[in-house]
Amino acid sequence: MMQKNNVASPSQTLVSRLNDLLGSQARDVHLSPTLCQVVPMYFSPKPKGILTWLAGDEPSNAPALHEPMPRVHLPPQLCTEMKPGGTKMTKLKNGVRIASENSHSPISTVGVYIDSGSVHESPNVAGVSHLLERMAFKSTSNRSHFRLVRDVEAIGGHVMANASREQMSCTADSIKTYMPHMVELLVDCVRNSMCYNSEVHDQLVRVKAETGEIVNNPQRILLEALHSAGYAGALGQPLLAPEASLHKLNEEVLCNFVSQNYTAGRIALAASGCDHDELLQIAEPLLSDMCGSGPPTPPATEYVGGDWRQAAESPKTNIALAFEIPGGWRNEKDSFAVTVLQTLLGGGGSFSAGGPGKGMYSRLYSQVLNKYEQVQSFTAFNCIYNQPGIFCIHATSGSEFVPHLVDLATKEFIAVATPGEVTEAEIQRAKNMTISAVLMNLESSVVVTEDIGRQILTYGNRKPVAEFIHGVQSLTLADLSRVAQKIIFTPLTMASWGDVTQVPRYDQVANRFS
């Protein structure tokens, strides 16, 4: 007679191993004293099997969820009057302004912002700011270009430079530990740039190639054209270095421009994600010996309007209509209204509305892009400066549809300036989208640093975000209609590129806004 083997089945083995594991875990659990103060221990019977582990077979002695737990010592409540850290600013005796805003981010961003741009260039050396942007992190009197690159790589940093029509910026970010290194490196690049002939020549070649590639970016072409046709004076000068001026740019021209414009009263050091006292302790010895006058006298600029068109071998026609924004950033209430008007008009491309919630409900998308398949893009944008600015609609279509395209842009400009054409719901949506876009952008330390630096150069201090939100929320339909009327009553500026044979005459379009 065969004897039966006592071999456990696989399922029994699994249950046994789970019981042993759970039992050992129950024996080895130890709660820290801190945890015991907050959450008291409730002992339950030792699990007897996998089903007990999953569902439990005995009622727990813990109180119901709607009852307070006994012997629980809650931590003290946070103060309800806590406020976010504001921007702190210190002005040195020589006029340099140092400002910062602390945060809990592990990243620290530092930027040097200079009140200098293409508006400060003389016409015979146009393009200096563009070239200085490319020369921003080259050799200094303390570092070769190779060493500078290695210094940034060694700490995992990131550097960038940007030239605009009114300001120049050099920015760096890294983890907070290396913030002092970034401050010293930025100041060294701004104050001690050598502008060697070999490096200048190399960057001139790159600038020439960059200028030649602009033909692949019609929107950039039209933006430059709107400034050259619409302005007489400083803002009419090109931001991109024109090819005709490249042979005039050299080491001497760059050094003279820097010595005249990179002065103490025109420099702001901004930072986010660092303690202000620590930043001041590092930056003050590096900047306190700079000399120079205060902010420059605003260069003469007059908005006159005009027409610019360039034929190109393209089956499409790009056209832009623009008007002046009187007052610029320093007319704060109107600048708030212009920002909301841009969001209200919105627009985008025929294949994209700019992302969920960004353009689909805007007027240009719902009234134009959603109805006319011939329109490939239809977008509103603005360029605001310290005193004036321009508000523009850029559109693209086939050449045969261009006359109708101009009619659509004209109609939308007039609609937002006509009382009763825009509903309260549209305005409220545009205000909400404007506020949310600003708040989301300010989650980036780079954007916060830029906002601090540029506001200090424009206003002399940084205005709280709550002030902007209140200004936007207080706008009414009458305010937006008033600002839109003020805009379209200025002279028209037109620019077109591509097949321009069907573009209407300037006077025909301008008379529609009379």
Residue 41 has a pLDDT of: 43
| Structural domain contains residue 312 | yes
**Secondary structure class of 192 (helix, strand, coil):** coil
Q: Which domain holds residue 266?
A: 87-216+223-288
Residue 83 has a pLDDT of: 63
For residues 394 and 442, membership in a common domain is answered with yes
Mean pLDDT over residues 472-493, rounded? Answer: 95
| Structural domain contains residue 103 | yes
Higher pLDDT, 391 or 57: 391
∠ CA 328-432-327, rounded to 5°: 10
Residues with Cβ within 8 Å of residue 308, at least 6 apart in sequence? 225, 226, 228, 229, 494, 495, 496
- DSSP per residue over 340-364, as a string? HHHHHH-EEESS--SSTTTSTTSHH
Mean pLDDT over residues 339-344, rounded? Answer: 94
How many structural domains is the chain composed of? 2
Residues with Cβ within 8 Å of residue 389, at least 6 apart in sequence? 324, 325, 328, 329, 338, 382, 383
Asked whether 477 and 420 are in contact (CB, 8 A), the reply is no
pLDDT at 33 exceeding the cut of 50: no
For residues 207 and 316, membership in a common domain is answered with no
For residues 276 and 381, membership in a common domain is answered with no
Residue 351 has a pLDDT of: 57
For residues 262 and 321, membership in a common domain is answered with no
Residue 72 confidence class, pLDDT cut points 50, 70, 90: confident
Determine how many CB atoms are found less than 10 A away from the CB of residue 267. Answer: 29
Q: Model confidence over 205-219: pLDDT tens digits?
A: 999 998 888 888 899
| Structural domain contains residue 117 | yes
Edge-to-edge strands of the sheet including 168-175?
Answer: 88-91, 97-101, 267-272, 107-114, 168-175, 158-163
Higher pLDDT, 296 or 413: 413
Residues with Cβ within 8 Å of residue 358, at least 6 apart in sequence? 346, 348, 433
Residue 127 confidence class, pLDDT cut points 50, 70, 90: very high
pLDDT at 345 exceeding the cut of 70: yes
For residues 186 and 276, membership in a common domain is answered with yes
For residues 336 and 267, membership in a common domain is answered with no
Asked whether 461 and 453 are in contact (CB, 8 A), the reply is no
pLDDT above 90 covers what percent of the chain? Answer: 69
Mean pLDDT over residues 221-241, rounded? Answer: 94
pLDDT above 70 covers what percent of the chain? Answer: 84
For residues 266 and 368, membership in a common domain is answered with no
Last residue of a domain, one of 288, 316, 342: 288
Residue 349 confidence class, pLDDT cut points 50, 70, 90: confident
Residue 357 confidence class, pLDDT cut points 50, 70, 90: very low
Residue 49 has a pLDDT of: 56
Residue 376 has a pLDDT of: 92
| Structural domain contains residue 315 | yes
Higher pLDDT, 187 or 66: 187
CA–CA gap between residue 26 and residue 278 (Å, rounded):
50
Paired sense of beta strands 306-311 and 493-498, if any: parallel
For residues 244 and 317, membership in a common domain is answered with no
Range 113-136 burial, b when 16+ CB lie within 10 A, else e: bbbbbbbbbeeebbbbbbbbbbbb
For residues 142 and 263, membership in a common domain is answered with yes
pLDDT at 125 exceeding the cut of 70: yes
Q: Residue 205: give its domain's CATH number.
A: 3.30.830.10
- DSSP per residue over 304-346, as a string? --EEEEEE-S-SEEEEEEEEE-TTGGGSHHHHHHHHHHHHHH-
| Structural domain contains residue 17 | no
Mean pLDDT lowest for which of 136-140, 387-391, 478-482? 387-391
For residues 268 and 311, membership in a common domain is answered with no
| Structural domain contains residue 244 | yes
Q: Could you tell me the two tokens for 387?
A: 């005193």
| Structural domain contains residue 390 | yes
Q: Could you tell me the two tokens for 11?
A: 């399922």
pLDDT at 292 exceeding the cut of 80: no
For residues 309 and 357, membership in a common domain is answered with yes
Q: How far is CA 410 from CA 171, 225, 304, 340, in A?
A: 40, 19, 19, 19
Angle between helices 424-441 and 477-488 (to 10 degrees): 80
For residues 232 and 190, membership in a common domain is answered with yes
| Structural domain contains residue 11 | no
Mean of the per-residue pLDDT values of the chain: 85
Residue 419 carries which DSSP code? T
pLDDT at 424 exceeding the cut of 60: yes
Greatest pairwise CA separation for the chain in angstroms: 116
Last residue of a domain, one of 233, 254, 288: 288
